[in-house]
Chains A and B, each alone.
Chain A
Amino acid sequence: AQSVSQHNHHVILSEAASLELGCNYSYGGTVNLFWYVQYPGQHLQLLLKYFSGDPLVKGIKGFEAEFIKSKFSFNLRKPSVQWSDTAEYFCAVNETNAGKSTFGDGTTLTVKP
């Protein structure tokens, strides 16, 4: 069974700092990769996704993620965070055509104004 590991459980940054959240997965086959965000009191929203092609994926709100197949990683980055980025971030992986996704434990990002 595949697993997803998010190394940072809680990240605290000041506004304008750069962000990188780690995500590693354990499945060796072809995968689809996702980052979701859950703002306080709101539901999960898709930030970005990778299916194939350019391993550097750009998402909404200035976020991007890079798929490094050799490292089984899909880290999320943002060059300059804002207070409004305070949220819970989840990495998810599903095996191509398998349907269901496995989620990481999530990373809580707190951005101090």
Chain B
Amino acid sequence: GAVVSQHPSWVICKSGTSVKIECRSLDFQATTMFWYRQFPKQSLMLMATSNEGSKATYEQGVEKDKFLINHASLTLSTLTVTSAHPEDSSFYICSARTGAPETQYFGPGTRLLVL
């Protein structure tokens, strides 16, 4: 089956630093990748849709200058949390979408803790 990886799985950083999270589709090409945020005991909140070679589409309320998304290739998308603050601490999950019939495959998530 389709596999999506994320790196790192855990990151702890100081407030004010930037953190980059990678999302890779390992055995398929994904023209579209999605970035979600999941708070404890809550559902996934879509942050942005990332299309290869174009600018990401951000959901309402998500700061695009805060959460930089780059989808440089058909197998890699990156999310950079810039100038991270404690309120950015969360579980970030990416997914990659295959073609028709379209299905999303999810990465294992990255837990970010900002001190």
Contacts and interface: CB of A to CB of B under 8 A. Distances in A.
A49 B102 CA distance: 10
B75 interface: no
Interface stretch (B64-72, B82-90, B106-114): B106-114
**A interface, size bucket:** 20 to 34
B106 A99 contact: no
A43 interface: yes
A5 to B, nearest CB: 11
Contacts of A104: 43
B29 interface: no
Contacts, number: 45
Interface string B36-55: 00000111101001000000
Interface in A39-60: 42-46, 49, 51
Contacts of A100: 34, 46, 49
B61 interface: no
B42 A49 contact: no
Interface of B: 32, 34, 41-44, 46, 49, 93, 95, 97, 101-109
